[in-house]
Amino acid sequence: MSDDCRLPSQYAVDYEALLSDARAEGETNAAMILREQVLFKWRDLYAATVMHVTNIVRIQFRTFEYIFDHYSELEAKGEVPYDQTIQDRVVGVIGTSAQAEEKRYAGRLWGWAAPTEEFLGTERDRGHFMAHCIGGGLDVNVFSQERRLNRGWSPQGKTYRQMETYCYDQPGTFCFSRPVYADGSSVPRWLEFGLLKTDQTLWVEVFDNYV
């Protein structure tokens, strides 16, 4: 991990330790074991660092699994009071990179809300937790991302693009994306992206989504 951006300790995950534990349990299926360990670690850490009741669900899309806090479902059922400061949001995405299954339909993305600059402002983009080119979808996969990061314009954006390119060039790469929030909104304060390289070493970076 680079020294450019680090998460506050209460949000940090020791992925190297999880990988070591996964290998100890079974070298041949370490990635599968690591996947489950990471999902449960994210769930527990998320629940411990938010101030509201959570409703965590798992959503499978092709080669990726999304864990999602479906808070509005609790509101709809009357189990919690309505709170406009708390939004449904992705807790993390994990899986393996794959070629895009179908053509990306921009109209569907633009229909997600108002035109980008009108809805998000001139410094934001509709980003994707997992790029469409490596098998990510739309809808739940979309979030408000700092423009220079998303487009590879800033130093951290260049690193972000390098990681996405690695996953694209090496189909079947184990990778994950975790948004970390500072409030109840669906806009991440930080974005963590990681992958398991062909030499079986982890490459994990944290990106500032507010700059």
Residue 106: per-residue pLDDT:
44
Residue 117 clears pLDDT 50, i.e. is over it: no
Instruction: Count CA within 13 A, CB hemisphere, residue 126.
Output: 21
Q: What share of the chain in percent tops pLDDT 70?
A: 88
pLDDT tens digits for range 80-113: 999 999 999 999 999 999 988 765 544 444 344 4
Residue 120: per-residue pLDDT:
56
The band of 7, judged by pLDDT with boundaries at 50, 70 and 90, is very high
pLDDT tens digits for range 147-186: 999 999 999 999 999 999 999 999 999 999 999 999 999 9
The band of 121, judged by pLDDT with boundaries at 50, 70 and 90, is low
Distance CA 155, CA 140 (A): 27
Residue 68 clears pLDDT 60, i.e. is over it: yes
CB 34 within 8 A of CB 65: no
Reading across the β-sheet that carries 56-61, which strands appear in turn?
A: 56-61, 64-69, 89-96, 174-180, 190-196, 202-208
Q: Packing angle between helix 30-49 and helix 15-25, nearest 10 degrees? A: 140
Instruction: Record the pTM.
Output: 0.89
Within a 10 A sphere around the Cβ of 56, how many other Cβ atoms? 16
Residue 55 structure tokens: 């409703």
